[in-house]
Structure 1
């Protein structure tokens, strides 16, 4: 099939307007992209947003993966071209069982044509293996939509090969990612500065001082492309983090510098419900958007205060091992604190934050 195509590889990115989807499209269109040159079909449920650089996809397709007829209609015309599907789409429901149902339905609809979600009920029951987390750690005893997707993929073997990429907290730029921790923190800092209120750390003393890791969307994109074209990476699962660790204390100092707000040392005696407090700031965010001429967003559409709050109250160090990835030949990395600065600048360039 490749001999009949003008491009060596043809990618379909499902969820291209999310943080990882954007980075994937940009990475695939680089002249140096492994397996290239690539033709890139980008897809998402809604029309393309104004901040999205349309030049990084050859074609954009809007379709609802929950609707099998719509999926078939929109994707059938390219089904004989696509060599690689990059699945970075997600929908979020109130329970993990509902997450499993909706996300497996979407993936099955796409495959038929050719990781844990934040659940408030399960949040306080999470008992992870000892860090650093390994790819061969046993599954948790709770429902998890990632497991369902992995099982669905394996059921198609050997007719297709696949790779699984387990990220940490993803750092990237988009207004359409359900779990954009950096955008959530940026909105929080912006509102604090706008109202002259202190930019207080809403987590615990444990997370303030202990290690955590993150996944730059560019590193995650590079790893997915590497695995897609590397024979030895087929049907394998890989962790994907930046390769370094940070403390929330150090990250908070960086955020204070970026947003020009005063650094407030953590005080464990000063508890406050930032989730409830920030969820009441919709009108304040509307005023900020109007004043600075930002891309139109609703506060409840771009924040993940609840999910991030759970992370900031972890009772364990969230650190993943990258040993397997290195052994298989992937050496991508990023400096997390430098990533924070770069992605905030991208959010500003995209007019998502001031």
Structure 2
């Protein structure tokens, strides 16, 4: 691996924007590992809400609660450390119903943080900016109520060389912000994830948490764990991105000269069918499902009346105090399990540039369920 030269007079200082999300937690853990490229790292974390009690505070030199959408708050909170930061890892996002709003909000957040770091002027130490996006780069705004039904997307497997689609997309807007706002001497990397597997209740699209809550309620109430997707996705290929692998690739790109100023897909490197995934999930949670049962179960409708059941489970097992609506998104689960195409990405470019990391998707299920139990998110 081709690494940046280290210097005792210029330590690596990371700022993780979105530190309490799935990849934020994995980044904080990885950057504290002495064997991680660029070590030793000094790690700052920033998020809009205060640091939760399930997050290991020891992973961060300091935590900063700041609203990146508020320009003045961002400048105020980040300016004291702006001159130190050498690497920014952007793993934050806000999702709204309209893609035009997504473009405005997420671009503003990114611009505000970049401007706050640049506010240190000649003392600015920034070397590299890491931006995490996703496969919506290739699919378009699939969640948008207006554009979503009209999209003609790229054919899978998705490759980084594919051109932009003619639809609004906040991922495109963020890449444009990087191109226009970063000083010319600062490098960047873009990391396009698939469905992310991780273990925090602060990521709206955390499929593992949503399915974990669903399975927990099914077991608690003695209900079958029915599949909300289509027969097509049940039988055809999909891929995922383990948050540990995303952290590994992002740090690799930030510390490898030949990987600078590039965009990379980042998936586990294998494929799965939801049929196999569902069986593995059932084993971990000891719930039952009928393989012959018709697909397309309305999980959104079922879970809409289960808030009080989740409250009972939280109380009974002494879990972290959460509201089901705050930690799950069954609309997103329904979307990804009802794709009409095989959701798979090519990892060829990443391998060609030297990143050979991988993860077994089905083996990651018991790992992340175990982490969620350790963190007392689920029983």
Query: TM-score, normalized by length of structure 2?
Result: 0.90
* Higher alpha-carbon deviation: 193-202 or 112-121: 112-121
Q: Alignment partner for residue 45 of structure 2, among 34, 42, 45?
A: 42
Q: Distance in 2 between matches of 1:349 and 1:252?
A: 22
Which consecutive residues of structure 1, in runs of 5 or more, have no partner in the other structure? none
Number of residue pairs the alignment of both structures matches = 351
Q: Distance in 1 between matches of 2:145 and 2:248?
A: 32
Distance verdict in 2 for CA 1:265–1:123, change over 3 Å: farther
Residue matched to 2:130: none
Residue matched to 2:242: 216
Residue matched to 1:205: 231
Q: Distance in 1 between matches of 2:201 and 2:150?
A: 30
- Residue deviations 1:184-230, cap 9 Å, x none? 01111111111111101010000000000000000000000000111
CA contact (8 A) 2:22 2:199 kept: yes
CA contact (8 A) 1:123 1:310 kept: no
Query: TM-score, normalized by length of structure 1?
Result: 0.96
Q: Alignment partner for residue 89 of structure 1, among 68, 92, 116?
A: 92
**What RMSD over aligned residues (CA atoms) do the two structures have, in Å?**
1.5
What's the CA shift for 1:130?
1.6
User: Is residue 2:266 matched to residue 1:228?
Assistant: no
Residue matched to 1:278: 303
- Residue deviations 1:87-130, cap 9 Å, x none? 00111112111111111111000001124363344443343212
Residue matched to 1:310: 335
What's the CA shift for 1:4?
6.9
Classify the secondary structure of the residue corresponding to 1:39: strand
Classify the secondary structure of the residue corresponding to 2:332: helix
Residue matched to 1:328: 353
Residue matched to 1:194: 220
Residue matched to 2:276: 250
Q: Distance in 2 between matches of 1:239 and 1:232?
A: 16
Residue matched to 2:32: 29
CA contact (8 A) 1:205 1:266 kept: no
Q: Alignment partner for residue 132 of structure 1, among 141, 153, 157?
A: 157
Extract structure 1 runs of 4+ deviating beyond 6 A. none
